């Protein structure tokens, strides 16, 4: 049976406003120059370990963006470009030499504080802070454990530990593929770079015990061979992989909404939401919080059903706009009489329905304005006084924010049209 799935790290991505809203550089691989081959020992070594040929169509090399795999001969769509037996095992020195060095890694944990300010508007900012905090805790724990071995502990710096942590942690989260037996690293295959539009995947045949990649198009010798890691947003690509795409069709935005503390019906509303299976969020101290997070995707139709805006978010807004216990009771009764889902249908009171969606529109518009301001504050992507690293990371920040702005604008446009339609309908009644 052939299975193929890149491992996904699931995280809570939040935009920090209250509702009180209180969610690349484009790797233009095809234009890269010929690969710079620094060593040709890895593939022969791996094939000796496997006791079988891995690939006669690919060679490993260094591109402008790190280790890559290039066509060593003409490849035709449908060709098997590599096949890695499951039995390949240890003694990884030649492999480790090809892993990225710190200066080659653009995952946001390696960004300076000033560079992180470029993406403060995105949820990736806070996730990076949280990730750094976790790495720091683990580093201090190791230092404490090694206090009886001063010679060893002195040689371990935080910078070295972060690099090692990233290699190990990201090896599991961004370099692993799934099969029926779980997740595993597939040497050589993990040097393939990502193209979000590619149909090529790493496939695992659990019956024949090998993993393989089938080309989805033709490649000329020297051209970089690409696969699709998964349907990942730029937020995931930047945080876990260290790159972005300029037009990522899988972009999304995580937003967080809450019930204002001054709302006299706050407890009743939250109890109603919890009773109808809305997940309970916890704050940093582990206490229940009257907040919820929702993932917004691009709304591709201005007059359709708003696919991309979660129905659960619209339901949350309808509950928030209830002004009396009776309105809340009516929503609970409606849910019980139908499919059990709360406020999934438009409110009977059209004025209240408009109010709920205008509230969402106001907050998404504010988020879009903030995101637009952040993009404009980036300044020139490159200039004579800008170092190459900062230029690359500015481009990544722009790709990330542009994608989130596109999502927010599409959702705002749909909500605006929805409210206008309801208002017009009311006028003709």
Residues 24-42 have pLDDT tens digits of 333 333 334 455 545 567 8
Q: Please tell me the predicted confidence (pLDDT) of residue 21.
A: 30
Question: Per-residue pLDDT tens for 315-372?
Answer: 999 999 999 999 999 999 999 888 888 988 899 999 999 999 999 999 999 999 999 9
Q: Is 87 exposed, middle or buried (0-12, 13-18, 19+ CB in 10 A)?
A: exposed
Class of domain 252-427: alpha beta
Per-residue model confidence (pLDDT) at position 160: 84
Looking at the DSSP assignment, which residues form a beta bridge with residue 193? 226
The structure tokens listed for 380 are 């020139």
Neighbours of 137 (CB within 10 A): 10
Please count the other Cβ atoms lying within 10 Å of the Cβ belonging to residue 176.
Answer: 18
At residue 30, the pLDDT reads 38
Residue-level pLDDT at 104? 81
Q: Which two tokens stand for residue 139?
A: 């580093």
Give the residues across from 5 on adjacent strands: 178
What angle (nearest 5°) sits at the alpha carbon of residue 36, between those of residues 31 and 39? 145
Q: Pick the closest to residue 304 from 420, 414, 422 (CA basis).
A: 414
Please calculate the CA angle 32-399-102 and round it to the nearest 5 degrees: 60
CATH class of 2-12+27-228: alpha beta
**Count of residues making up the chain:** 429
**Domain map of the chain by residue range?**
2-12+27-228, 252-427
pLDDT (0 to 100) of residue 95: 65
* pLDDT at residue 280, rounded to an integer: 45
Residues of the chain with pLDDT under 50: 1-33, 37, 90, 280-290
Task: Report how far residue 24's alpha carbon sits from residue 247's, in angstroms, rounded to the nearest whole number.
Answer: 9
């Amino acid at each position: 049976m052939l299975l193929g799935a890149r491992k996904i790290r699931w995280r809570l991505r939040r935009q920090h406003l209250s509702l009180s809203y209180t969610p690349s550089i484009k790797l233009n691989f095809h234009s890269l120059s010929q690969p710079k081959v620094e060593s040709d020992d890895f593939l022969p070594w791996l094939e000796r370990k496997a006791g079988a040929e891995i690939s006669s169509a690919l060679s490993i090399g260094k591109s402008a963006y790190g280790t890559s795999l290039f066509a060593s001969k003409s490849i035709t769509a449908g060709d098997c470009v590599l096949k890695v037996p499951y039995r390949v095992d240890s003694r990884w020195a030649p492999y480790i030499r090809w892993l990225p060095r710190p200066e080659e890694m653009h995952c946001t944990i390696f960004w300076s504080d000033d560079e992180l300010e470029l993406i403060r508007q995105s949820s990736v900012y806070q996730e990076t802070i949280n990730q750094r905090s976790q790495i720091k805790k683990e580093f201090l724990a190791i230092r404490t454990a090694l206090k009886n071995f001063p010679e060893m502990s002195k040689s371990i710096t935080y910078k070295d530990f972060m690099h090692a942590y990233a290699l190990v942690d990201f090896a599991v989260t961004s370099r692993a593929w799934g099969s029926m037996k779980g997740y595993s690293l597939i040497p050589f295959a993990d040097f393939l770079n990502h193209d979000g539009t590619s149909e090529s995947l790493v496939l695992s045949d659990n019956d024949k015990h090998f993993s393989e990649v089938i080309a989805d198009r033709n490649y000329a010798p020297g051209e970089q061979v690409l696969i699709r890691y998964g349907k990942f947003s730029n937020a995931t690509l930047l945080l876990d992989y260290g790159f972005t795409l300029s037009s990522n069709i899988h972009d999304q935005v995580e937003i967080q909404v809450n019930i204002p503390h001054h709302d006299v019906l706050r407890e009743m509303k939250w109890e109603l939401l919890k009773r109808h299976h809305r997940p309970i969020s916890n704050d940093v101290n582990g206490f229940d919080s009257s907040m919820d997070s929702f993932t917004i995707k691009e709304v591709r139709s201005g007059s359709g059903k708003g696919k991309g805006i979660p129905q659960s978010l619209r339901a949350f807004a309808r509950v928030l706009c209830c002004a009396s216990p009776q309105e809340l009771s009516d929503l609970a009764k409606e849910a019980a009489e139908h499919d059990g889902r709360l406020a999934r249908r438009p409110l009977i009171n059209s004025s209240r329905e408009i109010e709920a969606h205008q509230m969402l529109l106001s907050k998404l518009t504010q988020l879009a304005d903030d995101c637009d301001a952040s993009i404009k504050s980036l300044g020139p992507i490159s200039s004579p006084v800008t170092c190459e690293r900062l230029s690359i990371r500015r481009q990544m920040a722009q790709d990330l924010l542009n994608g989130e702005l596109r999502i927010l604008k599409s959702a705002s446009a749909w909500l605006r049209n929805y409210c206008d339609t309801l208002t017009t309908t009311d006028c003709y009644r």
